[in-house]
Structure 1
Amino acid sequence: MRMKNKTFLVTGGASGLGEATVRMIAANEGNIVIVDRDELKAFELVEELGSQVSFIQTDVTDDEEAKRAVDFALERYGSIYGLVNCAGIGIAKKITGKSGIHGIDTFKKVLNVNLNGTFSMIQHATVAMQGNEENRDGERGVIINTASVAAFDGQIGQAAYAASKGAIVSMTLPLARELATHGIRVITIAPGIFETPMFASLPAAAKESLGNMTPFPKRLGNPKEYAQLTEHIIKNPMLNGEVIRLDGAIRMQMK
């Protein structure tokens, strides 16, 4: 799939992995709708990158707002050919600890953003993509979801986060099988430890320590490297129904 003049929705597109993806699509002359809650950062990107980038403030956990984001993209650009789900949160908390029990509300919040928000965007974007004109491979669209190595190597305190990302991994193949009928591919990226806003407040020594956990290269991942993989997925039609670890061969320890 070529990105030029095609429209992509990027959730969590105002920062981190999402921002890098927005910049990559813009460099390929595609149109982007940033789907995010951070109005300030999103509008800074819109101002910098120009008219090919738009923004709609959206809470992906609200199904009505998710549908509104898709409708906005259709009204502005006429069609949607790609969805990249980067919106997510991470809350580290033990089941029982000094601060008390984990709490079901905290568990639900993580799943609501990471899993339900991802699924909500997928279902509405899929409806829009079904009406697209096929390319020579019969392709009408591509969906890229973001899981985490925590789906496989969840650490102590990551029960909620690992559960949400594990669910995204598990639904990749069923979605790809179902949407193949419509010419829509589904791929999931499972990043390791990346330099994102989640880690921005950590001291340099802590970041170095985390980076050294990675066999090679011994550093945190750069969001641009996530965007590079996203670019290849979009362009390579044989990538479908797969979960790709992007982690420098890291295998997380218990804690």
Structure 2
Amino acid sequence: MFGSWFPHRTLLRWRRHRLRGRAESPSPLAQLLEAPLPELGRSWEAVEYVVLDFETTGLDSRRDRLLSAGWVVMKGDEIRLATARHRLIRPEGEIPESSAVIHCITDDRAAEGLAEIDVLDELLAVLAGRVLVAHNARFELAFLNAACRRHFAAGLAMPVIDTLHLARRGFERRHLPHGKGELRLDSLRGRYHLPRYHAHHALVDALATAELFSALCQDRVGPEGRLPVRELLSVL
């Protein structure tokens, strides 16, 4: 889950170089892969992040599709609300009833959404040069990579922080028992006395994750008052 920073950095640069050779050019994905990596040896308060959440037609990134995306930019613990965006995405085919009852995005609402490639163009431009943050980031990355491959012939490689992994590491550091329930976004927010929000709206969940990320980082800052970003990275 967490690894030594130097092998991680080398692997990340190698993956970016390999994917850049596959990606269609010019494209927002190619620009992201060419952008300099953030300075991950700096304190977490000095680096910019994009906190991201998706709602989807299902759980399988190989066959299901994006329905909405929400994101907001942070610098350290500052959540820049002026950057918050929510985008409905027009899917191919009908939305399964089993997923519609969760996120309340109906076929009629989705029909008013943007084309997936237009949302990707906007999102990838925001992600370039920043660190991606998500709760259970493996899910968001699977769908984002699948969408990039559909439209740009390659996936993406970038620094990622998973707040679920950070929270689990905190439990383990304190030798506290924990199960899947304790690692849910709403459960962790309650542990840090953060307000309860209505779940399964992409932007609301992104903002909720941003607040949790700030709390988790401040909880991990050592006596010297510095927390390098490299200590927060997840290897996914």
TM-score, normalising length: structure 1: 0.30
TM-score, length basis structure 2? 0.31
